[in-house]
Amino acid sequence: MEVARYRNLNGFLRKRFGHRVHKVGVCGGFGCPNRDGSIDTAGCVFCNPRSSLPKSYDSSDSVTEQLRKGTEYVSERFKAHRYIAYLQDQTTTHGRVDELEKICEEALEYPGVVGLALCTRPDCLPSEILSLFGRLGQKTMLWVEVGVQSASDGILRSMNRGHTAAEAEEALKTLGELPVLTSAHVILGYPGESEDDVWATAELLNKTRTDGVKIHNLHVVEGTPLARHYREGLFEMISLEHYAALVAEFLERLEPDVIVERLTGEAPPEMTLAPDWSLHKQLALGRIRSVLEERDTWQGRLLGYSIEELRAILRSDLTPGGSLVR
Ligand code: SF4
């Protein structure tokens, strides 16, 4: 039997709710300050907002209708009947707070929805948004996902993120004081990123007591500045072998109670330019698990945690920040 070597999201949610819980994507028509000129107009070099829209998305659908379509699909495919409504388009906190609150309340009314998750940037958390998170976090499990990407300011600049690592750290610390769960999106193996940069990203998450992490490989999506750079031969993509090793070494340096929500990232096949292996999620996941197995290593090992200590955490539903989880 395969030994669990990291703390995955499904296991945590099953412990917490006693059932399988699945995320269902919802779009609220949010914008992005890195595109509308508030910060920049070019956006992050890797981002094409169309690539993260749910397959069934129709802009005329209400939140309820989106949830109806999404839950029908996941209950049939994954036999899941509890859901987290996931507001994933662009920067959900860049807009009117009352509109965001209305969308969240509508999602929470939907049968089977047991929590909310939403994506934002470190520099898009004004006090009215924090107050809203405080209110929502008192009534449901709210995950606030922050685009951190890297602890290296040089890498953040080449991604055209428009924020610094210090801002990401501050945002995670601020959110950690609210009754919400925090999650950091990171990209491992960006061109020019050193191993020390990757270790520093793990350290940033440990220091801020972030609850979860979504680890992504870089993938080149059509319609982005990165696609142009790739076609011009300005950089090479990381191989699956190298990425799997990097993920294993990142996990070894991550606190064992951090919930690992993702180990790879992918975009729709018709929009993906490279790498080919990102289109084969199970292959990539299998390789990462094999590397952990071959090296006989696990999440938190280099911080001094034994595999038994990791297993004890896997049996619990505790979160790193000690956040009040509803
Ligand atoms: S990744 Fe997020 S912050 Fe960057 S351009 Fe896309 S939506 Fe905006």
Q: How many whole angstroms from 89 Cα to the centroid of ligand 1?
A: 9
pLDDT at site 326: 40
Q: How many whole angstroms from 79 Cα to the centroid of ligand 1?
A: 32
Query: pLDDT by residue (tens digit) across 222-232?
Result: 999 999 999 99
Q: Which two tokens mark 219?
A: 């993938």
Q: How many whole angstroms from 324 Cα to the centroid of ligand 1?
A: 29
pLDDT at site 112: 97
Average pLDDT, the chain: 94
239 secondary structure, DSSP code: P
Alpha carbon nearest to ligand 1 atom 2, residue: 90
Alpha carbon nearest to ligand 1 atom 8, residue: 32
CB 241 within 8 A of CB 294: no
47 lines ligand 1 (CB under 6 A): yes
User: Which parts of the chain sit beneath pLDDT 70?
Assistant: 1-2, 321-326
What's the rounded Cα separation, in Å, for the pair 120 and 88? Answer: 9
Q: Which two tokens mark 244?
A: 């799997």
Q: Which two tokens mark 126?
A: 């004004």
CB 214 within 8 A of CB 261: yes
32 lines ligand 1 (CB under 6 A): yes
pLDDT at site 2: 63
Strand partners for 8 = 260
Q: How many whole angstroms from 148 Cα to the centroid of ligand 1?
A: 11
Closest CA to 192 of 48, 45, 302: 45
- Residue 279 contacts by C-beta under 8 Å, 6 or more apart in sequence? 266, 269, 272
Query: pLDDT by residue (tens digit) across 82-109?
Result: 999 999 889 999 999 999 999 999 999 9
Q: What is the SS3 assignment for 27? A: coil
CB 317 within 8 A of CB 15: yes
Q: What is the SS3 assignment for 324? A: coil
What's the rounded Cα separation, in Å, for the pair 314 and 308? Answer: 10
179 lines ligand 1 (CB under 6 A): no
147 lines ligand 1 (CB under 6 A): yes
Mutate to test the pocket of ligand 1, among 30, 36, 40, 44 (most ligand atoms within 8 A of CB): 44
Length of the chain in residues, anyone? 326
Closest CA to 265 of 189, 154, 181, 171: 189
Nearest atom, ligand 1, residue 89 CA: 7
Mutate to test the pocket of ligand 1, among 27, 30, 32 (most ligand atoms within 8 A of CB): 32
CB 10 within 8 A of CB 18: no
Its CATH architecture, for the domain 9-314, is Alpha-Beta Barrel (3.20)
Alpha carbon nearest to ligand 1 atom 6, residue: 47
What are residue 215's phi and psi, to 5 degrees? -95, 130
Angle at alpha carbon of residue 215, lines to 223 and 108, rounded to 5°? 85
43 lines ligand 1 (CB under 6 A): yes
Nearest atom, ligand 1, residue 119 CA: 2
Mode of pairing for the β-strands spanning 220-221 and 272-274: antiparallel
What's the rounded Cα separation, in Å, for the pair 218 and 243? Answer: 10
35 lines ligand 1 (CB under 6 A): yes
Q: Is the backbone peptide bond immediately before 275 cis, with ω within 30 degrees of 0?
A: yes
What's the rounded Cα separation, in Å, for the pair 142 and 192? Answer: 34
Nearest atom, ligand 1, residue 91 CA: 7
Residue 73 — left, alpha, or beta (φ > 0 → left; ψ -120 to 50 → alpha)?
A: alpha
Q: How many whole angstroms from 18 Cα to the centroid of ligand 1?
A: 34
Nearest atom, ligand 1, residue 121 CA: 3
Q: What is the SS3 assignment for 44? A: coil
Side chain identity at residue 109, one-letter code = E
pLDDT at site 191: 95
